[in-house]
Structure 1
Amino acid sequence: MLPYDAPLDALLALAKSTAEKAGQAVLEVYDKGEYDAYEKPDESPVTSADYLANDIIVSALEANTPDIPIVSEEKKIAALEERKTWQRYWLIDPIDGTQEFISRSGDFAVNIALIENNEPVLGVIFWPPGQTTYYATKNQGAFKECSEEHKQIHVRKLDDPKESVVIIAISRRQSREKVMSRMSAKRVYQTLPLGSCSLKACFIAEGKADVFMRIGVTGEWDTGASQCIVREAGGDIVAATFEPLTYNQRTSLENPDFVVLGDQRVPWEKLVQY
């Protein structure tokens, strides 16, 4: 059992093992194809696999860090009056990319973040079909771990930040034309279709893409782990207006539209048109 003020390296070990355990359970369900699907009040999908992952994660975190509160997409959320007193809390998305899980694209992930003083300071993203874990803690770098490799990762440094081809990660269900209409015509672009928000962020963190714009409803659990990983890899996640994202400061945990950015030398505010 870890205390409320446990060091980040101890909490990272817990978050990694927990995300991987939940992810393996989700993968078993995915491989069998036996689950129930439902529709939330906001018309977004949720499955019995989401609830299974949530139960595994919440049980492990409550057992090992009973004094650290938990916010989960699939758990009743405390009122702001209570939450605003928290200096530390876990922020989890049991399955990021539920629609990808249902459509069997394989692009879904388990996300666990630790928020400290309203900032993500620890992030773990486990991609079950790829058996890959991305993780980071504040000021300690970002890493990718799988059976083939365990290495520190960095955003792609464009050879010439004013001229290089920019790789845009887009949703498999997103119109390429709609995305391109928001990008400055002064650059050359390639697009890379992917599934969940967090996997797009991880691809940017490891240099496989350069930018991703998310237009639509998301929650703080969709960006917490990703933001820590991308920042530690040399990039950032900001609101589409280029204002900082905030955590646990509003009644609603709904995010604004946001942009995941790679190489910080690139004049992104001139390229991404919101």
Structure 2
Amino acid sequence: MSLSDPQAYLLTAVHAALHAGRAILDVYETENFDVEMKSDDSPLTRADRQAHAVIQAALEPTEVPILSEEGKAIDYSERSAWPELWIVDPLDGTKEFIKRNGEFTVNIALVQDHLPVLGVIYVPVTQTCYWACAGLGAWRCQLPPDAAIADLDSLRAQSVELPQPMGIPSPRALVIVGSRSHATPELEAFVADMRQHYGAVDFTAAGSSLKICRVAEGSADIYPRLGPTMEWDTAAGQAIAEMAGKSVTVWETGERLRYNREELLNPWFIVR
């Protein structure tokens, strides 16, 4: 199978994310919704399922295989033959969804040869869309769930390109962003160490893939993830961060985080 042109699929991914956002809000805006617990003790709602169905229907015509958190498990013996695939989290931050704090996202990434070449992250509550594509850079815009984006030019006309890194402006404090729902002792130790070595350090918490977006857009400087995540939690964010000039590297080796591995659980990593 030959590799696709990521730019040809960008609008498909954006529209899929917007429509999934609408499906999520339809549940979010109801008075009550049921919460189930999956085998790994993570929560699942009707919004997760509906967003998955919307995205799968939108992406299937591309004929690129889909790896989704809410899809069926696919054995590595099959996945290993895929030179490209969609990696999707239909509702990243289900715990934040349940808390009704708005910090949840739709994550869609196109991965080729184990690295993300396209990423879309949509924040339904704020209608913020982050997108990135090889050859186009990384961008942010405001799009309602029913937005009609006819072509790439109209998408870019509504978007602002994320700034390339210029260093930390003095005298601003170093801003570290971490998980709102998954804090670890290792994260606390990292922040303490940075305060000892750097001096002025501000720590802020955020949910879902918003943490990577914060670094990508420059409102935070470092996101250390010293705890478990899955490939669908990070693939879209890595595309956005890297195409905004940031790095997403494995904590122990300093190598770029790679995808469609046999083990879908990510190693610790750092975005900076």
TM range (shorter): 0.7 to 0.9
Map of 2:166 onto structure 1: 157
1:194-273 mapped onto 2 (5 Å cutoff): 194-196=206-208, 198-241=209-252, 242-250=254-262, 252-261=263-272
Assess if the C-alpha contact under 8 Å between 2:121 and 2:237 holds in 1.
yes
Assess if the C-alpha contact under 8 Å between 1:134 and 1:202 holds in 2.
yes
1:182-201 mapped onto 2 (5 Å cutoff): 182-183=193-194, 185-187=196-198, 188-196=200-208, 198-201=209-212
Query: What is the CA distance between 1:159 and its match in structure 2?
Result: 4.5
Query: Residue 227 of structure 1 aligns to which amino acid in structure 2?
Result: Q
Q: Does 1:171 align with 2:175?
A: no
1:94-173 mapped onto 2 (5 Å cutoff): 94-146=90-142, 150-154=159-163, 156-159=165-168, 165-173=173-181
- 1:180 and 1:26, CA in 2 relative to 1: closer, same or farther beyond 3 A? same
Assess if the C-alpha contact under 8 Å between 1:90 and 1:112 holds in 2.
yes
Query: What is the CA distance between 1:46 and its match in structure 2?
Result: 1.5
Assess if the C-alpha contact under 8 Å between 1:156 and 1:206 holds in 2.
no
Map of 1:40 onto structure 2: 38
TM-score, normalization: structure 2?
0.86
Assess if the C-alpha contact under 8 Å between 1:4 and 1:68 holds in 2.
no
Question: What is the rounded CA distance, in whole Å, between the counterparts of 1:59 and 1:50 in structure 2?
Answer: 14
Identity of aligned residues (%): 39
Which stretch has the larger CA shift, 29-38 or 87-96? 29-38
Assess if the C-alpha contact under 8 Å between 2:173 and 2:202 holds in 1.
yes
Question: What is the rounded CA distance, in whole Å, between the counterparts of 1:214 and 1:126 in structure 2?
Answer: 21
Assess if the C-alpha contact under 8 Å between 2:43 and 2:94 holds in 1.
yes
Question: What is the rounded CA distance, in whole Å, between the counterparts of 2:260 and 2:197 in structure 1?
Answer: 38
Secondary structure of the 1:186 match is helix
- Unmatched 5+ stretches in structure 1: 262-274
Query: What is the CA distance between 1:186 and its match in structure 2?
Result: 1.3
Question: What is the rounded CA distance, in whole Å, between the counterparts of 2:216 and 2:176 in structure 1?
Answer: 13
- 1:33 and 1:253, CA in 2 relative to 1: closer, same or farther beyond 3 A? farther
Question: What is the rounded CA distance, in whole Å, between the counterparts of 1:171 and 1:26 in structure 2?
Answer: 22
TM-score, normalization: structure 1?
0.86
- 1:177 and 1:223, CA in 2 relative to 1: closer, same or farther beyond 3 A? closer
Question: What is the rounded CA distance, in whole Å, between the counterparts of 2:169 and 2:130 in structure 1?
Answer: 27
- 1:82 and 1:170, CA in 2 relative to 1: closer, same or farther beyond 3 A? same
The alignment's C-alpha RMSD in Å is 2.2
Question: What is the rounded CA distance, in whole Å, between the counterparts of 2:159 and 2:258 in structure 1?
Answer: 31
Question: What is the rounded CA distance, in whole Å, between the counterparts of 2:17 and 2:250 in structure 1?
Answer: 27
Query: What is the CA distance between 1:81 and its match in structure 2?
Result: 1.2
- 1:155 and 1:191, CA in 2 relative to 1: closer, same or farther beyond 3 A? farther
| Cα offsets for 1:9-62 (capped at 9, x unmatched) | 220100000001001110121111432211111111111110110011011111
Give aligned pairs, total.
Answer: 254
| Cα offsets for 1:205-262 (capped at 9, x unmatched) | 1111111112222110111000010001010111222233121132x2110112111x
Assess if the C-alpha contact under 8 Å between 2:64 and 2:84 holds in 1.
yes
Question: What is the rounded CA distance, in whole Å, between the counterparts of 2:50 and 2:189 in structure 1?
Answer: 35
Which stretch has the larger CA shift, 23-32 or 225-234? 23-32
Question: What is the rounded CA distance, in whole Å, between the counterparts of 1:97 and 1:182 in structure 2?
Answer: 28
| Cα offsets for 1:138-176 (capped at 9, x unmatched) | 232100011596200025533469x85210112234378
- 1:155 and 1:199, CA in 2 relative to 1: closer, same or farther beyond 3 A? farther
Assess if the C-alpha contact under 8 Å between 2:17 and 2:55 holds in 1.
yes
Assess if the C-alpha contact under 8 Å between 1:114 and 1:121 holds in 2.
yes
Query: Residue 190 of structure 1 aligns to which amino acid in structure 2?
Result: D
